[in-house]
A and B are shown apart, each in its own frame.
Chain A
Amino acid sequence: MARHPETDLVPYLRGELPPAERERVARHLEECPDCKQDTELLRDLLGNLAHLIGQPPEVSWPRYRAELSKKLEARRARAPWWRRPMPLAFSTSLAGALLLVAVWGGHELSRPGDTIGLEEVAIGSELGLLQQFRTVERLDLLEDLEVISNLDRLASERQG
């Protein structure tokens, strides 16, 4: 006989098992009197438990709702300001102020002074020479070579 389907009995009683599994459990119950008896007992137990658990003490629902509203209000007051729901008037004003800042900021950015600054950066980035730092470094050296090559001429000019 296959293993006892102990953990399958509750889902079996509720009709949750897929057909193949249900068939397997049903076949087992036909062959195993112990499991069959267990299943009957479980059926009674589940049926009685609902009554057995009983009902909670009575509650005044208007009072329950009033308490809930108060607790919710207290929780909102405790929440940081950015998480609290904003009144419509305030949120509209805030949105308007943000829009103004955005428009003014955009206008400021589009002024000529700033454009030149941006253009300079753009030109600078395109100068290959400036990007080759080693070449720039050697410009001084080239200048020195020119002085050296003209030393004789400089000396004769001074004597003359």
Chain B
Amino acid sequence: MEPSDEALCERVAKRDEAAFDLLVSRYQERAYRLAWSILRHGEDARDVSQEAFIRLYETAGTFRGKSKFSTWFYRILVNLCLDHKRKHKWWKLWVRDDDDDRSERILDRQPAPVNDPVDKLSREETLKALGSAVDRLAPRQRAAVLLRVQEDMATYDIARVLECSEATVRVHLHRALATLKKTVEKR
């Protein structure tokens, strides 16, 4: 039987390298994808997600098992992402970010091409606008939306990750989706 994440974390606290390797392999893709979704930059996402694993190694002893391991780990990761965004906010305004130009990639990944060229154009424009709107969301709103749609997290778990109340998460989600809804309605 596979050991649980929580059991592995306990072993990492005792400096069990094999347990750490196993946890990394379980979470590396999810961690990188979530970091990228928040940061929209491949290299930064790689660095920040690796830093999250280093923090996990260093602080595994502080995990008390009161929440799920994934919630505890995502809290580390999301906090690092939000810190990173805060620190690089002004810098990004001056430096063009290649990963930010994602419109082509978004469109490449859309399912079910539409036959009518007018409809297709309209749909592409809407999706492009929606992608930009997601990028413009406030960092915590975006994190809440991403944890919901990518990680399929419940409001309770998102609240634990973002260290706020469930009511605040509901407001974050409501505001974020209201913004995105407006973008769709404008089209």
Contacts and interface: CB of A to CB of B under 8 A. Distances in A.
Contact of B42 (A51, A53, A56, A67): A56
Given A57-B42, A61-B28, A65-B24, A42 B50 contact: no
A41 B187 CA distance: 14
Interface in A96-113: none
A147 to B, nearest CB: 76
B105 A54 contact: yes
Contacts of A129: none
- Tier of interface size on chain A: 20 to 34
A55 B33 contact: yes
B148 to A, nearest CB: 7
Main secondary structure of the interface of B (DSSP, over half): helix
Contacts of B130: 48, 52
A46 B149 contact: yes
A29 B107 CA distance: 34
A76 to B, nearest CB: 9
Contacts of A57: 36, 42, 99
Interface string A60-86: 010011011001100100000000010
Nearest to A15: B154
Interface residues of B, number: 46
A96 to B, nearest CB: 21
B131 interface: yes
Interface string A17-41: 0000000000000000000001001
Interface string B52-69: 011001100000000000
B155 to A, nearest CB: 5
Interface in B132-180: 134, 145-146, 148-150, 154-156, 167, 170-171, 173-174, 177-178, 180
Contact of B109 (A6, A16, A38, A55): A55
A93 interface: no
Contacts of B74: none
Contact of B150 (A14, A42, A50): A50
Given A55-B33, A64-B50, A45 B184 contact: yes
A6 B181 CA distance: 13
A8 interface: yes
B99 A68 contact: no
A71 B127 CA distance: 38
Contact of A42 (B42, B154, B177): B177
A67 B43 CA distance: 12
A12 B176 CA distance: 16
18 contacts: A9-B174, A10-B148, A10-B173, A10-B177, A46-B149, A48-B127, A48-B130, A49-B180, A50-B150, A53-B149, A53-B150, A55-B105, A56-B37, A57-B99, A61-B28, A61-B29, A65-B24, A75-B58
Top 7 closest A-B pairs, CB basis? A56-B36, A7-B170, A57-B42, A49-B149, A7-B174, A10-B173, A50-B149
